A = this chain, B = another copy of it.
Amino acid sequence: MTTIYDIAKKANVSPMTVSRVINNKGNISEKTREKVEAVIKELNYIPNSAAQSLNLKKTKLLSLIITDITNPFFTKVARGAADKANQMGYQLILCNTDEDYEKESDYINALISKRVDGVIIAPTGDPSIKNLKKLIKNRIPFTLIDREIEEISCDRVLGDNYEGTKLLLQHLIDYGHKRIAMVHGPLTVSTSKERYQAYIETLKINDLNMDASFLVETHYKQEKQWNGIDHLVTLPLADRPTAIFAANNFIAIKIIKSLREKKIKVPEEIAVVCFDDLELFSDFDPFLTVSSQPAYDFGYTGTQLVIERVEEVGPADYRTINLKPELVVRKSSGTPIN
């Protein structure tokens, strides 16, 4: 491996001068700069960033921690984060936690050891607060994206789960639905909890009955899901929900598949709506009615905010960016009933 010394020797200058040329620091005569640059090219020299990191205490490494790269929502988040990181000269370490707190903890330790400059994280759930505190203790700035963890000092890029839920439910209610079930994820995840609470609230505001059996808990990730709605569809028609609100896109897919297996037509017999789009699919066949969130921006803006912290530009106060959801009405919510 060629080092700064090899360059220095061959260019008849001191290693320091080479360092200066590489980093464009201090004043250097045109002559020596050219001479050094020539040698650098000749020897294909590329600085060793481990050495740089060691005394600069900067690694130019960022990490994106997400719970399911397989979900198109997070895929777009990753895309946004990668774009911004790249654009600013950082490399991005991808951590996929599979909604698993233990994996998240392992990653956090590894990242601290790697001395990443910053972290963009969608935590696995409320217990993640321990991991975040660990980051704080190690002075690694982070921004929380998509999922809220309360009472933590950091930047945030969050969606509006209340708004998104209300948009979806109001749409169903406007269409005449009175019996709306919800299938949500674990309530230890803020997005799940907020959508859940917004569901209850919206029903109340609209004077609709709340039936405990209409609330079903499952998981966000496909591998962990169960459909959980068998008891609903075996109900007599008059008691059966006429619409189902799925807390995320994967849950919606699972539900629609189950309904189809049971020969129940969507949306004719039961309407289905959900949070987060499946653009790839919707593009192809506009079917799912969704509250669409600007996934790319979660990643892009989240990364921008950490970088501002890392580079110590930007305001002293922590910021919370709210990204608005958008109601996209398609076939799965059917047409007005009665």
A residues adjacent to B (C-beta < 8 A) = 1, 44, 46-51, 53-54, 57, 59, 61, 64, 69-70, 72, 75-76, 78-79, 82-83, 86, 91-96, 103, 106-107, 109-115, 134, 137-139, 253, 256-257, 278, 280-281, 283-285, 287
Contacts and interface: CB of A to CB of B under 8 A. Distances in A.
A331 to B, nearest CB: 12
A54 B50 CA distance: 6
A105 to B, nearest CB: 12
Contact of A69 (B82, B256, B280): B82
A83 B69 CA distance: 11
B280 A49 contact: no
19 contacts: A1-B138, A1-B139, A48-B54, A50-B50, A50-B115, A51-B54, A54-B54, A69-B82, A82-B94, A86-B95, A86-B96, A86-B106, A91-B110, A92-B93, A92-B94, A278-B281, A280-B280, A281-B284, A285-B285
A57 B49 CA distance: 11
A278 B139 CA distance: 42
Contacts of A281: 278, 280-281, 284
A115 B48 contact: yes
A250 to B, nearest CB: 9
A78 B82 contact: no
Nearest to A81: B94
A75 B70 contact: yes
A59 B50 contact: yes
A173 to B, nearest CB: 26
Contacts of A54: 48, 50-51, 54
Nearest to A96: B82
Copies in the complex: 2
B283 A280 contact: no
Contacts of A94: 64, 78, 82, 92-94
Contact of A49 (B72, B96, B103, B115): B115
A96 B107 CA distance: 21
Nearest to A76: B70
B283 A48 contact: no
Contacts of A287: 285
- Of A82, A91, A103, the most chain B CB neighbours within 10 A belong to A91
B278 A257 contact: no
Contacts of A86: 95-96, 103, 106-107
Contacts of A93: 61, 91-94
B113 A48 contact: yes
A256 B284 contact: yes
A269 B279 CA distance: 26
B46 A138 contact: yes
A130 to B, nearest CB: 12
Nearest to A103: B86
B109 A46 contact: yes
Contacts of A139: 1
Given A59-B50, A94-B92, A253 B115 contact: no
A54 to B, nearest CB: 5
